[in-house]
Amino acid sequence: MAISDEKRELREMLKLRAAALPESYTRRADKQICGSVISTPEYKQAKTVFCFVGRPAEIDTRLILEDALRSGKRLCVPKCVSDGVMEARLITSLSDLSPAKHGLLEPDPSKSGLVFPQEIDFAVIPCVTCDHFGSRLGFGGGYYDRYLQGADFFKCMVCRSELISEKVPRESFDVIPDMLITEVLMLKM
């Protein structure tokens, strides 16, 4: 079986598993994950933070977003600009976000400044699942794989422990993060 087929099957299985998680667990896990991210020295030292805005099926990152804004950090979030391509856009408030394609909350590019990858110090990276070796399975659009190629900022992948896989197929273009955080684990890669 081709790696792309393995990834597709694993992605479908994990989407079902994620949908079955109790809301009480996801709320508690998300709060613990965000608290752990905020407590890392890498986050505390960062001047510019890049963080995804969680959709209902993803980790709710509002605690990280609010902390970055409250702490005076430059906060940028993803803006999808074409298929498989995203950029980082500066926001100064969560009210800068509005619904976009695929249920994402994104900033209006005419009202938010572009932030280049070399300006970012710390990034919070989503996944559908990952393993303890740093292999990440995204949602299948390749947005993060493309954006993270050659990036030299600190990459922190977040995942609920109930969604960790034993082994995630890896391809040559898959970027390994610097750290994995779940509600029960902080693991440097």
pLDDT (tens digit per residue) in 93-144: 999 998 887 778 888 878 889 999 999 999 999 999 999 999 999 888 889 9
Q: How confident is the model at residue 11 (pLDDT cuts 50, 70, 90)?
A: very high
- Reading the block at residue 132, the tokens are 């303890």
Q: Which CATH architecture has domain 3-17+32-184?
A: 3-Layer(aba) Sandwich (3.40)
Highest mean pLDDT among 44-48, 55-59, 139-143: 44-48
Q: At which residue do the structure tokens 């299948």 appear?
A: 140
The pair of structure tokens assigned to 144 is 């993060």
Dihedral (Cα; 116, 119, 123, 125), 10-degree rounding: 10
List the chain domain ranges. 3-17+32-184
Structure tokens, 101: 């394609």
CB proximity list for 149: less than 8 A, separation 6 or greater: 173, 175
Q: Which amino acid is at 54?
A: G
Closest CA to 139 of 155, 124, 126: 126
pTM of the entire predicted model: 0.94
Cα 71 from chain centre:
20
pLDDT tens by residue, 16-41: 999 999 999 999 999 999 999 999 99
